[in-house]
């Protein structure tokens, strides 16, 4: 990845975050993504699969897969249920908007255009 590419993407995102509607959608997606990433880490660290999680919840594997899919809008109740099934509590915190998007692009594999997991 070239440094210029990442900087250009970061500049584009910083500019887009000035739009209130874009910012709302970005913040919502970022919060869900952070939860999904944390949940995936908990599953991996505990040696659990999505199928194991589904069985613990009495849900289908398709339900868990849908919850882990990028772009899926999770409710607080669903996030709490998923966390609890893994032995965790869901905690929500507020933080001020950053002036820019932070290091969101540091996770991107720009050769494939996909986020690393």
Q: Which domains does the chain have, with CATH numbers?
A: 3-110 (1.10.260.40)
Helix (H, G, I), strand (E, B) or coil at 89: coil
**Which pLDDT value is given to residue 47?**
96
pLDDT for 116 equals 41
Apex CA 96: angle with CA 94 and CA 100, to 5°? 130
What are residue 109's DSSP bridge partners? 114
- Assess contact for 104 and 116: CB atoms under 8 A: no
Please, which residues have CB within 8 angstroms of residue 40's CB and are 6 or more apart in sequence? Answer: 68, 117
What predicted TM-score, i.e. pTM, was given to this entire model? 0.73
Residue 102 confidence (pLDDT): 54
Q: In the chain, how long is the greatest CA-to-CA distance?
A: 48
Strand, helix or coil for residue 108? strand
- What's residue 2's pLDDT? 53
Q: Which residues, listed in sequence order, are joined to residue 108 by a DSSP beta bridge?
A: 115
Average pLDDT per block of 10 residues along the chain, 117 residues long:
66 87 90 93 95 97 94 92 96 79 44 39
Looking at residue 94, what is its pLDDT? 87
């Amino acid at each position: 990845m070239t440094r210029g590419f990442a900087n250009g993407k970061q500049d584009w995102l910083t500019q887009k975050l000035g739009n209130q509607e874009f910012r709302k959608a970005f913040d919502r997606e970022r919060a869900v993504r952070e939860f999904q990433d944390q949940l995936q880490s908990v599953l991996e660290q505990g040696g659990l699969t999505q199928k194991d999680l589904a069985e613990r919840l009495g849900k289908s594997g398709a339900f868990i897969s849908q919850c882990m899919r990028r772009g899926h809008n999770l409710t607080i109740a669903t996030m709490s249920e998923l966390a609890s099934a893994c032995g965790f509590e869901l905690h929500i915190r507020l933080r001020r908007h950053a002036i820019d998007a932070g290091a969101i692009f540091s996770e991107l594999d720009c050769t494939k255009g996909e986020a690393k997991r």
